[in-house]
Amino acid sequence: MAEDLDRRGNNLILGILLGAAIVALGILGYLYYDRTRTPVVKIDVPGFQGEISKDKKGIDIEVGKEP
């Protein structure tokens, strides 16, 4: 009975560490993608804001309303 409790605790710790590693890789990937994207034009018109950026894959246009 004590062996079952110890095995379940190891699986929980392993799951938490695996989840933390996946989250860390996601954050690093996002930061890398954001760094490789270079802004070409910033849009700042009353009522709207955004930017046109270029990366290796092509051109990305982001436009939205001001908060």
Tens-place pLDDT, residues 12-50: 888 899 999 999 999 988 887 766 666 677 777 788 788
Residue 3 has pLDDT above 60, yes or no: no
Cα 64 to its chain centre, rounded Å, is 20
Q: Where are the domains of the chain?
A: 1-36, 38-67
Strands in 1-67 per DSSP E: 38-45, 48-55, 58-65
| pLDDT for position 23 | 94
pTM: 0.47
Place of tokens 């009975």: 1
Report yes or no: 50 and 63 within 8 Å, Cβ to Cβ: yes
